[in-house]
Amino acid sequence: MKCTYRQIELKKRYPLRISRGVSAGSTNLYVMIEGAQHVGIGEAAPGTGAETATVCEQQLTKFLGHQDIGSSIFDAWSNAYCAGIPMCAWAAIDIAKWDLLAKQSGQPLYRLLGLPKCSVATSVTIGILTPDVVRDRVPEILNRTGAKHLKIKLGSTDGIEADQAMYSEVQETVRDFGVSLRVDANGGWSLSDATSMMLWLRDRNCDYIEQPLKSDLDDQLPVLFKDRTLPIFIDESCSLSTDVARLSDCIDGVNVKLMKCGGITEALRIVATARAHKLQTMIGCMSESSIAIAAGATIGALFDHIDLDSHLNLAPDPATGLEIIDGVVSVPDTSGHGGKLAC
């Protein structure tokens, strides 16, 4: 098998501000694995263990120079993890290997994995905004995407008063759209702020809260969980399946991201572990195009909540293959995961 790489600069339609900063775009790494008759494609969005696409490519090139790329997908993931390969980089290889395997079998990847198509509508994310921007931007996003759920980033550095002002404006703006609201604080709150905000949000029809505390404050989760007024999902606090058991008694669910866990292989293990601990599951995304989003959507049927929307905020998306049907990210019935580079 032959492995080739391509770096593509992605620009966001709207810069995304979260508690840790602002992102206007990224340079992602695309990996093509060529078999005898088919090519599998994967994508790395730098961030988890590797800050640039160039670092991802260098790490993969060095590692694969001493590995059999055609080895078992599960063995390959374990070897990469033990070698310290950044998980966002390995996600590109893992996704490409699954894509190639499905193409070689002549099946859509979701069917190869024994899954139905996903039927849960995705959340569409809005970053931290001022109320004035909310009034202009949110209707445009909802009209363009047909979203059924809106995930609101909070954890503003201006404090919870700013968070409350934004959320209240969103709630007023979407009144006639019939969408549900969820919140992701990206670890932007203290324990006391999280406690008061969750109570405040409960009374304003919020579905759940994601990552209320920083991951290095996981020891405070039991206190927050004990008297929680909303379900608590973790994101930054859970990268691998081994993180699930560690926190299972103080959370309601986990957010799985292919870039954090190194692709589909470990995502399947995280879901299985979460279910064994009677936790809810969510699949999210980082700064991926439709290639990695397609990979996530192929296993979407495993999740209670879907947050696969980063491709909807690209101008342009360099990949094709996905549709939004009644709010659901839908993959095609072609072989593989369904994502293709447009150029």
Q: Name the E strands within 72-212.
A: 123-126, 149-153, 180-184, 206-210
Question: Which residues on neighbouring strands pair with residue 26, listed in sequence order?
Answer: 10
Entry pTM: 0.97
Neighbours of 63 (CB within 10 A): 18
Q: What is the mean pLDDT of residues 304-309?
A: 98
- What is 144-196 written as a DSSP string? HH--SEEEEE---TT-HHHHHHHHHHHHHHTTTTT-EEEEE-TT---HHHHHH
- At which residue do the structure tokens 């994508």 appear? 43
287-300: pLDDT as tens digits: 999 999 999 999 99
Q: pLDDT grade, residue 253 (50/70/90)? A: very high
pLDDT of residue 48: 74
Q: pLDDT grade, residue 213 (50/70/90)? A: very high
pLDDT of residue 251: 98
pLDDT at 303 over 80: yes
Question: Is the Cβ–Cβ distance between 172 and 136 less than 8 Å?
Answer: no
pLDDT at 343 over 80: no
Domains belonging to the chain, first-starting first, are 2-106 (3.30.390.10), 112-341 (3.20.20.120)
Q: Which element (helix H / strand E) includes 65?
A: none
